């Protein structure tokens, strides 16, 4: 019997924007049975052109992925980095890029049949990993800020203001700077673990504890409906596009005996 079964879903709300520029999807691998990929992209500029490309590139490269004889987390990290960099280059080549410069954030998560998780992030959309009702880990900007200070020799205060700088902004499609991809991994997944991928239109309205509780106590559909409604309420008419993918690992149902007991007839 497997250690857990997967319950998953995606949800979106336009918020108070004129259009929905976020994109989110769940994929299975054509040549890697049992592998699941979650993708979330927040179109920062240029409408949904960049976020749409993120989904197209993610599906294409994931469908080409072959597992090999043994699970290899390094290969999965390389796959996620390749998705980020290829999507970045394709977005920049878009004919519309010269005028509108479409850009997007990126969050990727792969789950394997070997109870492993690998993820990658670009920009301010987030990935959370929960263990029960506790937030075990989440992505943030700390690694990128350190990178700007160490490699670009920026003063710390200037690096912390990267979101307001076109030159420093960490997104796919930025013609002035390649994306900085952060990766993470976790092994020995078990029932009770959960993952949340979400755009800033969601996470800015919740504490880590609130998000953990929402996922632990509800199905993915129930949790997404509750979080979207609460985000709309807290945004008070100024909400951004709100998108998420939720993946929960739950204990499999107990197997019922497949045999039946029949009364034996006495032989004559």
Q: Using one digit for the tens of pLDDT, what is the confidence trace for 211-234?
A: 999 999 999 999 999 999 999 999
- Rounded distance between C-alpha atoms, residue 154 and residue 190, angstroms: 41
Q: Using one digit for the tens of pLDDT, what is the confidence trace for 157-209?
A: 888 888 777 677 899 999 989 999 999 999 999 999 999 999 999 999 999 99
pLDDT of residue 154: 86
Mean pLDDT of the chain: 91
Which parts of 14-115 are beta strand (E)? 22-28, 36-45, 103-104, 106-111
- Rounded distance between C-alpha atoms, residue 26 and residue 7, angstroms: 12
What's the mean pLDDT in 50-55? 97
What's the mean pLDDT in 11-29? 97
Please state the pTM of the whole predicted model: 0.91
Length of the chain: 268
What's the mean pLDDT in 118-140? 96
* Phi, psi (rounded to 5 degrees) for 86: -70, -40
% the chain with pLDDT above 90 = 74
The dihedral built from the CA positions of residue 39, 44, 45 and 48, taken in this order, carries a sign that is positive
- Rounded distance between C-alpha atoms, residue 141 and residue 202, angstroms: 17
pLDDT at residue 258 above 70?
no
Domains belonging to the chain, first-starting first, are 5-250 (3.60.40.10)
pLDDT of residue 121: 98
pLDDT of residue 99: 75
Find how far residue 150's CA is from the centre of its chain.
27
> Which of residues 61 and 68 earns the better pLDDT score?
61
pLDDT at residue 268 above 60?
no
pLDDT of residue 242: 97
pLDDT of residue 256: 67
pLDDT of residue 70: 63
């Amino acid at each position: 019997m497997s250690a857990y079964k997967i319950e998953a879903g995606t949800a979106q709300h336009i918020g108070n924007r004129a259009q929905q520029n976020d994109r989110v999807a769940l994929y299975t691998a054509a040549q890697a049975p049992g592998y699941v990929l979650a993708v979330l992209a927040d179109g920062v500029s240029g409408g949904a052109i960049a976020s749409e490309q993120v989904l197209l590139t993610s599906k294409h490269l994931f469908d080409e992925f072959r597992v090999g004889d043994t699970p290899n987390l390094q290969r999965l990290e390389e796959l996620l980095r390749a998705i980020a960099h290829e999507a970045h280059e394709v977005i920049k080549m878009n004919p519309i890029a010269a005028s509108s410069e479409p850009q997007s954030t990126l969050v990727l998560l792969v789950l394997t049949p070997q109870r492993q998780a690998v993820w990658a992030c670009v920009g301010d959309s987030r990935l959370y990993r929960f263990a029960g009702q506790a937030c075990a880990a989440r992505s943030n900007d700390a690694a990128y800020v350190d990178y700007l200070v160490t490699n670009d020799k920026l003063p710390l205060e200037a690096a912390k203001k990267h979101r307001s700088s076109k030159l420093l902004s960490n997104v796919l499609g930025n013609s002035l700077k390649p994306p900085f991809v952060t990766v993470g991994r976790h092994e020995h997944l078990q029932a009770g673990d959960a993952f949340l991928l979400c755009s800033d239109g969601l996470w800015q309205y919740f504490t880590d504890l609130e998000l953990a509780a929402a996922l632990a106590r509800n199905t993915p559909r129930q949790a997404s409906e509750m979080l979207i409604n609460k985000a709309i309420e807290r945004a008070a008419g100024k909400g951004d596009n709100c998108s998420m993918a939720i993946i929960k690992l739950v204990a499999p149902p107990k197997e019922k005996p497949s045999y039946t007991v029949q009364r034996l007839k006495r032989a004559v």
